[in-house]
Amino acid sequence: MTTTTGMSAAAGAVLPEFAWALRSHVGAVREGNEDFVGAYSPSVIEDHGPLFVVCDGMGGHAAGEVASRMAVETVLTTWTTSSAGPTQQAIRSAVRSANGAVFAASLDVETHGMGTTCTALALSGREGYVGHVGDSRCYLVHNGQCSQLTADHSRVGEMLRMRLITPEQAANHPSRSELTRSLGAAPGVQVDVVRTPISRGDVLMLCSDGLWDLVSRQEIAQASALDSVDDAAEQLVAWALERGAPDNVTVLVVRIAGEIPQLEADKGRGGGMAFLQRLGLVRGPVRTELPSEESA
């Protein structure tokens, strides 16, 4: 078990208002781990709030490992060194910077054709922002109910959204691992950014497909109810390993204990549906997909 595959200095941390833990395992079949995970978790939140990143690399040999590590490091570096701006723009810019870095490196002979997924979660005030490319996922557990915030950028994901196949057919479809969008495939990439309200007791989970392919949403909700985020992360990986874990398994769990300090650039930007929810006029989590980079 690898507990610090990314840039984090510890497997878990408790700061005012939230707690987090990460786990990454090579799985039961693979020889190497091409997943990479990192976290920026400041004790004092000023221009840059907390950011969590999971990437699942591809490309054969060691190229996938190179791509995922490079993407995580670039996202975190861009996030922490760029000028302060609205979170949705900052997270999109960080993921786009990672795409540029991976694409440039993929032109080298030794790493030609490498790429990676990227799912990043930022916290600001009472909202979470998810920047996403590929088929790693972000889930939200709210009041014991687990919902998927991200859309898979895969051939099977597209067919599911078009209702050409059923979820049962998708589970064993021959194109299930074929991505339609990833970092490193082209000089530019469209980055999905999703905004969701968060409140005390909510749990957000980032993971690679090696986890979500074997663990159900109901089980994610069940693990999220455990005493600590460390216990939740351990349990989720354990379930995947019990079921054979043919792929690398990575999970990062964040539990909201209270209100996160809001970034200055986000003040006054509250969405209408999120505002109504805080007044108790809308029940359950509200997922808002923000405009794509082409229209932002």
pLDDT tens over the chain, length 296 residues? 544 333 333 446 655 589 999 999 999 999 899 999 999 998 777 778 999 999 999 986 669 999 999 999 999 999 999 988 899 999 999 999 999 999 999 998 888 889 999 999 999 999 999 999 999 999 999 999 999 999 999 866 666 666 666 665 566 656 567 799 999 999 999 999 999 999 999 999 999 999 999 999 999 999 999 999 999 999 999 999 999 999 999 999 999 988 788 888 888 655 443 433 333 333 334 455 666 554 34
Classified as helix, coil or strand, 18 is: strand
Residue in 27, 93, 79, 2 with CA at minimum distance from that of residue 241: 27
Rounded Cα gap, residues 65 and 72, in angstroms: 11
DSSP letter for each residue of 86-147: -HHHHHHHHHHHHHHHHHHHHTSSTTTT-EE-EEEEEEETTEEEEEEESS-EEEEEETTEEE
- pLDDT the model gives residue 128: 95
- pLDDT the model gives residue 169: 59
- pLDDT the model gives residue 144: 96
Pairing label, strands 137-142, 203-207: antiparallel
- pLDDT the model gives residue 47: 78
Matching residue, tokens 């999970």: 251
Matching residue, tokens 């932002």: 296
- pLDDT the model gives residue 272: 40
- pLDDT the model gives residue 174: 60
- pLDDT the model gives residue 67: 96
The predicted model scores a pTM of 0.85
Classified as helix, coil or strand, 185 is: coil
Residue in 37, 36, 42, 38 with CA at minimum distance from that of residue 18: 42
Residue in 267, 94, 118, 121 with CA at minimum distance from that of residue 202: 121
Contacts of 188 (CB under 8 A, 6+ apart): 96, 99
Q: Is 161 exposed, middle or buried (0-12, 13-18, 19+ CB in 10 A)?
A: exposed
